[in-house]
Amino acid sequence: MNPVDLTTQLAGITLRNPIVTCSGTYGFGEEYAPYCPVDSLGGITLKGITPLPRLGNPVPRLAETPAGLLNSVGLENPGLEEFLKTYLPKVRQLPTEVIANISGFSLEDYVQLAQALQKDSGLAALEVNISCPNVKHGGMHFGTDPGSAEEVISAVKAATDLPVIAKLSPNVTDIVAMARAAQRGGADVLSLINTLLGMQIDIHQQRPVLANTFGGLSGPAIKPVALRMVWQVFAAVDLPIIGMGGIVTWQDAVEFLLAGATAVSIGTGNFVNPQAPLEILRGITDYCRQRGVASVGDLVGLAHS
């Protein structure tokens, strides 16, 4: 039986396979080591970093839904200085491609983070979380306004020599407009989708379950939305896509590849089954063998033909 070529190219980044993990669901890589060998993954995306440490939102922060998870963690993280001092020396030793995720509340925040994270850091790329409120412009989220999205991606691109991945929010009217804005800003790769805004109410307490009222919905519930958006963006924008949103089985992952994703990212699935990335990779490999597909890259966008 001929081997399947799983090698995946993302804007000059060579992944051993198309399986990546979502930011915020895999810590800084070490946490999952006992359950899922990091060297079996194409790459991992680190927990998001902001310039200053953040304690995050008050609890409760998590709420299960019938087919997903609501989270309102609030970007809890050690901050840039502590990341550079304590975490970066460890993550750069991980035997896989490591993507840093950065978040900010002003253009200056993003530039500061990007300037501190260059190729000599040992990182493979920067994923820019633009689903954050711009405190200097009335709290409008960078990721819901094409002009703001283009501006922040352009600023990050100018501040770092690493490939830039723009992580797109689904909480918009037109995902293609946001993808095109990120492309104009110079993004090398697009990742989509981030979580959908949702909420849950405790009917006994008669108030929201989450302390922050609203949270991001992830898990299988959002997969059809994510798949549709990947399909639309692939058809409209000539950039590689990391598809995410409700991928918990290999069949889910294959759907995203066929829709146009070059790589797929596992998020909430890691919480349910820490070995999900391995099982998904095996499933994709078997699918390719059974179909006589020599390279996983041959699946990308195939459903459009």
Which amino acids are annotated catalytic?
132
> Is 292 annotated in some ligand binding site?
no
> Is 74 annotated in some ligand binding site?
yes
> Is 194 annotated in some ligand binding site?
yes
> Is 167 annotated in some ligand binding site?
yes
Using an 8 Å Cβ cutoff, are 36 and 94 in contact?
no
- Helices 175-184 and 146-159 pack at an angle, to 10 degrees, of 30
Write out the two tokens for 20.
């990546």
> Is 123 annotated in some ligand binding site?
no
> Is 305 annotated in some ligand binding site?
no
> Is 285 annotated in some ligand binding site?
no
- For 258, residues 6+ apart whose C-beta sits below 8 A from its C-beta are 299, 300, 301, 302, 303
Write out the two tokens for 160.
């770092």
- Whether the bond between 37 and the residue before it is cis, its omega within 30 degrees of 0, is no
> Is 17 annotated in some ligand binding site?
no
> Is 23 annotated in some ligand binding site?
yes
For 9, half-sphere exposure in the C-beta direction (CA atoms, 13 angstrom radius) is 6
Give Cα 183 to chain centroid, integer Å: 17
> Is 185 annotated in some ligand binding site?
no
Classify the C-alpha dihedral 258-232-139-160 as positive or negative: positive
For 253, half-sphere exposure in the C-beta direction (CA atoms, 13 angstrom radius) is 30
How far apart are alpha carbons 160 and 55 in whole angstroms? 27
> Is 268 annotated in some ligand binding site?
yes
> Is 75 annotated in some ligand binding site?
yes
- Which residues does the annotation place in the binding site? 23, 47-48, 71-75, 101, 129, 167, 193-195, 219, 245-246, 267-268
- Which residues does the annotation place in the binding site for substrate? 47, 71-75, 129, 194-195
